[in-house]
Amino acid sequence: MRRRQFLMLTGATFAAGVVGARVSHADTHRGATGAGLLKPMDAVAFRATRRFAELPFGRIAYVERGLGDAALFLHGAPLNGFQWRGAIDRLSAHRRCVAPDFMGLGYSQIPEHQSLAADAQAGMLAALLDKLAIRKVDIVASDSGGAVAQLFVVRYPERVRTLLLTNCDVEPDSPPPKVKPAIEMARAGTLAGATAQWLTDKTLARSTFGAAVYSDPSRFADETIEYYVEPLVSSPLRRAQYHAFHLALEPNPLRGIEKSLKRSTVPVRIVWGASDDIFSQADADYLDRTFPRSRGIRLVPGGKLFFPEEFPEIIAEEARRLWRAA
């Protein structure tokens, strides 16, 4: 009961680690693959599309859909590339959409002693793009994926065409205070066990974490909870890496990055969930005034941390506008 009470009271502390879902939308579109109408991806379809890239960092899981210029989708924690299925459904007619799973999360298979820090994640992404023969990308990023995206822009500016950021870490607020209890649970070795409870008590997942990061937690689907959680707790190594991912959020991975971001020439659009109490609107304002080529902020009324999964049409609309203007 004590653990349940803790989860109920601190659901928002999994800001970088909350599962979510949305009911699959019914629309279809003509894809750039030339295969005719593409159906929206559910968990079964997404799993069937999953591939692995053999890299020095490990076997990196990713999903790819569409042709042409590439777009790279970076998820939050403890989610994986499945977070972006709705956006990919809508954007694969316009871009070669690539959604990898970060090291320590999702279905990527990582050696025991591989660093899971944000800087190492950025290096992994560069290696993945090399493997896929992709020179330059449009990045769409959320949550802890937004921190990795900022590091990637600084380390590999020539590889980024545009950057679309949703609610995410910024240098003055990384990790945010509401994430720190989750980090402490990781340090105590209890985070994976608490997360595993979502598999047997999906009502708990919806009423705590869902309520913290989604505007409508009733949209959570059982298959989505399972798709996110199962790999994280599938073995002692995966549980340890899940903890290590969260421990790598401290010290601040963005410390000292502001000067470099102020020199960036990458066009940036900021789309922010207005009801998120983990990453505040002040963080969006910081990004807007820090990036010289910011295209401004769009606030999403009622949107919380993982609103891109609930409202993929907003991501698709803003991405296409940014890409056209770049």
pLDDT in tens, 40-79: 799 999 999 999 999 999 999 999 999 999 999 999 999 9
Query: What would the pLDDT profile of 68-87 be if each residue is shown by its tens digit?
Result: 999 999 999 999 999 999 99
Query: What would the pLDDT profile of 218-244 be if each residue is shown by its tens digit?
Result: 887 899 999 999 999 999 999 999 999
pLDDT given for residue 38 in this prediction: 57
Q: Which residue has the higher pLDDT, 116 or 35?
A: 116
The closest of 139, 138, 144 to 168, measured between CA atoms, is: 144
Task: Identify the weakest region by mean pLDDT among 9-13, 124-128, 162-166, 223-227.
Answer: 9-13
Q: Where are the domains of the chain?
A: 2-325
Q: Which token pair is 42?
A: 């559910």
- Report, as an integer, the average pLDDT of 284-298: 98
How crowded is the C-beta side of 323, counted as CA atoms within 13 Å? 19
Mean pLDDT in the chain? 90
Query: What would the pLDDT profile of 242-278 be if each residue is shown by its tens digit?
Result: 999 999 999 999 999 999 999 999 999 999 999 999 9
Radius of gyration of the chain (CA): 18
d(CA 163, CA 153) in angstroms, rounded, equals 8
- Report, as an integer, the average pLDDT of 97-125: 98
CATH architecture of 2-325: 3-Layer(aba) Sandwich (3.40)
Task: Identify the weakest region by mean pLDDT among 20-29, 53-62, 199-208.
Answer: 20-29
Banded model confidence at residue 168, pLDDT cuts 50, 70, 90: very high
- Report, as an integer, the average pLDDT of 85-109: 98
> How many Cβ atoms from other residues are within 10 Å of residue 32's Cβ?
18
The pTM for the full model equals: 0.89
